Amino acid sequence: MENLRSWAASGLASASTAEAELFLASHKERVLKVCLSIIGHRERAEDAAQEALIKAWINRTDVRDDEKEAAWVRVIAVRQAWTEVRRYPDTDELSESIPDKGSADETALVQAALNRIPAERRIVLILAESEGMTMDEIGEALDIPSGTAASRLYRARIAFQTYWEQGDK
């Protein structure tokens, strides 16, 4: 992520360094969180977050409403992270996507249950539960119909519950 600071300072786009720094400060933490929750590996998530922020910065004039900028940047981050997951399907297991909110054992059980869910369902579950996105927002971010997102979420929740119960025994 340190490369972003030098990128912003380099004046790559037609904006002041202060504007670039403000843009990065406004979005960097959230974009990394989204990418990490989807990818689950810090290094790959940082790379995806950097790519997403660069894309968002370059195309920032596409957003006409400042109030929608954060949602727009989040969609770019989701798409970049999902591209990363699909690019490396052999490394489909999450390692860092769940924040430590419970005991280490509970976090490990959640992680193990999530790892068993197919990626195309798991991403919908993470976006709905961790990011609080609606089916319409998930559909837009993943470029799928909202009904497909809802179906994947339903199946992911069933699978999670099954794997959770199996892991708890």
Q: Would you say 36 and 78 are in contact if contact means Cβ atoms under 8 Å apart?
A: no
For residues 89 and 53, which has the higher predicted lDDT (pLDDT)? 53
pLDDT in tens, 103-119: 667 877 888 888 888 88
Which sequence spans correspond to the domains of the chain? 1-95, 98-169
| Least confident range of 52-56, 93-97, 164-168 | 93-97
The string of pLDDT tens digits covering residues 80-95 is 999 998 887 655 555 5
Topology classification of domain 1-95? Rna Polymerase Sigma Factor; Chain: A (1.10.1740)
Q: Is the pLDDT of residue 151 over 90?
A: yes
> What distance, in Å, lies between the first and last C-alpha atoms of the chain?
41
Q: Looking at the domain 98-169, which fold is it?
A: Arc Repressor Mutant, subunit A (1.10.10)
